[in-house]
Structure 1
């Protein structure tokens, strides 16, 4: 799978670990930055991820920050993006199953790395259920 990923400084460490994990699993990953733990403004790195996913250049996107809240908000400003802020495996499963989320937002300060990696796996492997949920997605896109 082609995956776009970006973070601010507060999500940098997990971003690096997630990139390694994804590449080891055979995914194609493009890192949109940031490239250090030096303080940055997250929209500069999150919006390009969201735009790339919305344009169809990547199948999924992952964005990270301290809480993941600002990153989810920034990604969801891009038409065609459905970014789910996830904090556990079940929230990741449901954001794919019911919302057909194409971008995942994670907060590095909100969970341990093992949980973050489990969330990523569930996000990437759970299919959209469709059915009654499809009409809701279509309403969001109108």
Structure 2
């Protein structure tokens, strides 16, 4: 299972708290924006400058944003998880890839481009799934080497 920060609310904020990414920005006025798990090849619209340019945050807030300190201990910058995912799938591992589409953590356009870049065959097209009569998300199924 691959969990790529998702959904509105708690899951996205949890990922923001635990992942190391391009930006993790906390503003005292109650706004949180940034991207703990962006793939730089697909998710440019998840970064703070994009949020400012699209009017999601005001000029005053944009001028006050700061990057998290570089005091976090990590050994490798991974600009894309795609090669790791492809390697695991090619070795026969199955995966459920989950990604939220209602926030700037992992925008759905970036998710769709990431999936397209895998070049897998589509078995079932995108379809909604619901909880208590309300659309809660969308899914579809792809195959690689004749396995779903």
Using CA pairs under 8 Å that are at least 6 residues apart, name the structure with larger relative contact order, 1 or 2: 2
- TM-score in same-fold range (> 0.5): no
Scaled by the length of structure 1, the TM-score of the pair is 0.33
Q: Which has the larger radius of gyration?
A: 2
More helix by share: 1
